[in-house]
Amino acid sequence: MSSTTDLFSSIQLGRYTLPNRIVMAPMTRLRAVGSIPTPVMAEYYSQRTSAGLIVTECTMISPMSNGYINCPGIYSPEQVAAWRQVTDAVHRKGGKIFLQLWHSGRVTHPSLLNGELPVAPSAIAATGTLHTPVGKVTLETPRALETEEIPEIIEQFRQGAVNAMDAGFDGVELHGAFGYLIDQFLQNGSNQRTDKYGGSIENRARFLLEVVEAVCQVWGSDRVGIKLSPSNTFYGMHDSNPQVTFSYAIEKLNQFNLAYIHLMEPNEDDLGTGDVLNPVISIFRPLYQGLIITNGGYDKSKGNQILGTDGADLVSFGRLFISNPDLPKRLATDAALNSPDFAKVYGRGEQDLDKGYTDYPSLEMQGS
């Protein structure tokens, strides 16, 4: 790769030629009332189709995977039909969109699960609180999955991938980050099993790799990505040797020839613990033979720098896409950026779903 590669260079990602290397990162926005995507979500994503690739917010593969109020699902016919409105809107504008498949694992509450206990690799509670139908609660101790239950969850990921295809997506990204179920199996701070899914790193990575294999059988590996966060401390996540753990997982992912892996850099809270891997990209880049998307507070200058030095292949942006629907154009022209209204990042029920969501102006609207 030459030093002239930048955010605005085209790239082949799996079977798709993307016009630029600017990825819209998956971001929870909580506008899916009753877990069914809403028309305002179609508008939101279609506003941002100038991204080389859009990755949706985390999307439930089953009722037991729910972690947040008004988070979308992909397990019912109603959800599939509603997502089709989103993908149609994106494709009408020439965009590419992957669905992020997600199971929250222990990061949920019985009030979100019809009274059932959350499931996880081990009966170890996550740290922190959660907003639920019964108010703000402390996370409870989950129920450890029985060995014979695990294939059922892998099947839910596979069926979610089938449903995503039926909904018209261009591919899927597995959420293997931020302390949710796949991550919970991988790291030994949350996985203290003694069966074939626990103990050694080979066993702890088994669930991740089996899910990847199942989803690739649906889509073909060139339309599947996975997101990992080796330095994440959300919800009390930790591992006794994260470099060894994630090095093993990432090296094993080479066998699938995925569309990409999406690596998260530590945020300020992670760095505050003082002992996380930093920077993530330079540690794991040499281990992976395919495309890597990097995420972690990038701006135009830092994004161009990491691409120009072959540190990564694409850069995903989160916060900047919240408030700038035409972010690639603004970056290309060095236009001023809208600031996000953080009080309106998350939806609050059925009222004012568009506020702080689809009402940020484009340059065209601002007369630029």
pLDDT tens sequence across 295-344: 999 999 999 999 999 999 999 999 999 999 999 999 999 999 999 999 99
Choosing from 180, 260, 357, 360, the catalytic residue is 180
Phi, psi of 71 (to 5 degrees): -90, 140
What's the whole-model pTM score? 0.97
Write down the domain spans for the chain. 11-344
Q: Which pLDDT belongs to residue 2? A: 44
AA identity, residue 40: V
Region 53-65: what's the mean pLDDT? 98
- Could you tell me what percent of the chain has a pLDDT over 70? 99
Q: How confident is the model at residue 257 (pLDDT cuts 50, 70, 90)?
A: very high
CB 347 within 8 A of CB 28: no
Averaged pLDDT of the chain: 96
pLDDT of residue 293 exceeding 60: yes
Q: pLDDT digits over 142-165, tens only?
A: 999 999 999 999 999 999 999 999
Region 28-42: what's the mean pLDDT? 97
List all residues 6 or more positions away from 80 whose beta carbon is below 8 Å from its beta carbon: 74, 163, 166, 167
Strand ranges for the chain from DSSP E: 11-13, 16-18, 22-24, 53-60, 97-102, 119-120, 129-132, 135-138, 143-144, 171-175, 224-228, 260-264, 292-295, 314-317
The SS3 of residue 336 is coil
pLDDT of residue 218 exceeding 80: yes
Q: Which pLDDT belongs to residue 368? A: 56
CA distances to 41, 95, 126, 240, 308 from 200, rounded to whole Å, are: 42, 42, 22, 12, 38
Q: Which pLDDT belongs to residue 354? A: 96
Pairing of strands 22-24, 53-60: parallel
Q: Which pLDDT belongs to residue 275? A: 86
Question: Is the domain defined by 11-344 classed in CATH 3.30.420.340?
Answer: no
AA identity, residue 151: P
Q: Which pLDDT belongs to residue 1? A: 40
> Which tokens go with 347?
């939806």
pLDDT of residue 359 exceeding 60: yes
- Residue 180 annotated in active site: yes
- CA separation for the pair 234, 241 (Å, rounded): 17
356: phi > 0 → left, psi -120 to 50 → alpha, else beta; which?
Answer: left
Q: pLDDT digits over 1-22, tens only?
A: 444 899 999 999 999 999 999 9
